[in-house]
Amino acid sequence: MQHAQVARYQRLKLLLIFIVFAAPMAAAWGMVKWGVGIPFGHKAHGEVHVAAPNLNEWPLANEPESLGEAWTLAFDCLSDCEQRKDELWRLHRALGREAPRLQRLRIGGAEHALPGELVTRWQEPPSWYSQGAIWLMDPMGNPALVFNEQTETTDILDDIRHLFKVNHH
């Protein structure tokens, strides 16, 4: 009688060990099969399909001298953009220790540049140009995202932080 209890206890113990190791696999399979409990990925606030060419091909009046190594936040300033210029400067500062990974390129507006800002102007606005647009270019000069005038600065900052996180040095 006691031998039967020990055997049953051993089987129960073996079954519990099996459940402990099989449960995560079953849960993962269920998550994939039914899409339950899977965190949603980051959704970009900017438009991913950017019509702009590589930054080297932009019809700029003067080639900014220090383009290279960093991501570039290029923004149009043909219309009145004092507020946007200030917001993007604050966005740049909000990146904290990641700030050196970004540079701002203002196209148009006053010659006076804010700290960390490169200034140029269009030779003539290209066909893909959009007034008030903000383009985020990768370190190679390829367009990554484009934002329109209505995009909130906090949303742009969110997208930049996400891109920096997934694109390490």
- The pLDDT of 142-148, averaged and rounded, is 88
What is the extent of the structural domain holding 32? 1-39
Domain count, the chain: 2
52-76 pLDDT, tens digit each: 898 888 998 887 665 667 899 999 8
Same domain, 35 and 62: no
- The pLDDT of 21-37, averaged and rounded, is 72
Closest CA to 117 of 127, 109, 129, 126: 109
Same domain, 142 and 60: yes
> Within a domain: residue 44?
no
Same domain, 68 and 115: yes
Looking at per-residue pLDDT, the higher value among 105 and 5 belongs to: 105
> Within a domain: residue 97?
yes
Same domain, 35 and 97: no
CB 45 within 8 A of CB 161: no
Dihedral sign of CA atoms 59, 64, 69, 72 in order: negative
Same domain, 28 and 66: no
Q: What percent of the chain is modeled with pLDDT above 70?
A: 82
Looking at per-residue pLDDT, the higher value among 113 and 40 belongs to: 113
Residue 37 CB neighbours (<10 A)? 9
- The pLDDT of 30-47, averaged and rounded, is 61
Q: What percent of the chain is modeled with pLDDT above 90?
A: 15
pTM of this structure: 0.70
Same domain, 83 and 151: yes
